[in-house]
Amino acid sequence: MTAVGKILVFINLVFSLIVAALVVTVYMAQTRWAAELKKSDDTNKVLVASNRAFEEQLGQVQKAAADEVATTKAAQKKAEDERDFQAGMVKERDGQLLQLRTRGTAGDALTTASQVEATRRQADTEKLRETLKKETDENARLVNDSNKMRDRAVAAEIQFKAVTERADRMEKEMQRLAKENSVLKANLGGSAVARRGAGQRNPPPENVEGLIKSYDPASGLMTITIGTDAGVNKGNTMEVFRIASVASQSKYLGTIRIVEAGHNYAVGQPVGRMLAPPQAGDKVASRILGS
């Protein structure tokens, strides 16, 4: 074989190796984008389910408040009718007593009988007055209960507004995730694009996660539970976020930069202002969805 043939064979081998490396790179990029897309879809499903649960809870609170208000109004109406009836009876007995007293001059016997009847009717009137007083007190209690029910209805309305605001925030989050899904789907068939803020962030090469072990508010420094054994080195940036059992309480806190790293720990300080003070147990990761 001539020297030119040998050179051509060598060049062919080099090109084959380059093509193989490009195929492996494209395959790894597509695999990584597919995993990110699946994670985004799972997050969307969780947000939709949480939103539905909030809407059902809101309907139950409104129905319970309406039922309580209706029951209280019915009881108050009944008490007012009973009070009016008792007041009418007292007025009628007072009129009859006045008539008996007017006819008292007709004679001693009639006067005596009238006095007895008047005494009896007066006793009946006192009983009616006591009954009326009890009904009035009961009505006052019902009015007080009605006010309490009204306060509960106001509280329910406030809760309704809070739930509505949380639903709005969740809807905006879902819209944001939908936009990010569109970006991920568009990038599955092409080459990887530079992430936002790449000039400021320097995440570890591997996707690693850990927890905040301690935080010093005075210095702003925090210790995390992963270090160089996990691929976290001095100068890397990590994302800090909080995962709560209630979806609306979960939040992104900010970015930290590693200033010291050991085998199984690292020390970070905030990059810029944190959205909320970190706490022990908050999560740190090299990247989060959408970062």
Tokens 């996660």 locate to 209
Taking only the tens place, the pLDDT of each residue in 6-32 is 888 888 888 889 988 888 888 888 888
How far is residue 28 from each of residues 2, 171, 182, 193, measured CA to CA in Å? 40, 33, 20, 14
Q: What CATH fold (topology level) applies to the domain 209-285? A: Thrombin, subunit H (2.40.10)
Taking only the tens place, the pLDDT of each residue in 93-145 is 888 888 877 776 666 677 777 788 888 888 888 888 889 888 889 988 888 88
Span 41-188 CATH architecture: Orthogonal Bundle (1.10)
As to burial, measured by CB atoms within 10 angstroms (0-12 exposed, 13-18 middle, 19+ buried), residue 22 is: exposed
Among 181, 212, 185, 188, smallest CA distance to 47 is for 181
- Band (pLDDT 50/70/90 cuts) for residue 187 is very low
Domain with CATH 1.10.287 in the chain: 41-188
pLDDT value at position 260?
A: 96
Taking only the tens place, the pLDDT of each residue in 250-275 is 899 999 999 999 999 999 999 989 99
What is the pTM assigned to this prediction? 0.34
Domain with CATH 2.40.10.410 in the chain: 209-285
What mean pLDDT do residues 210-224 have?
95
Q: Rounded to whole angstroms, how far apart are CA atoms 114 and 216?
A: 93
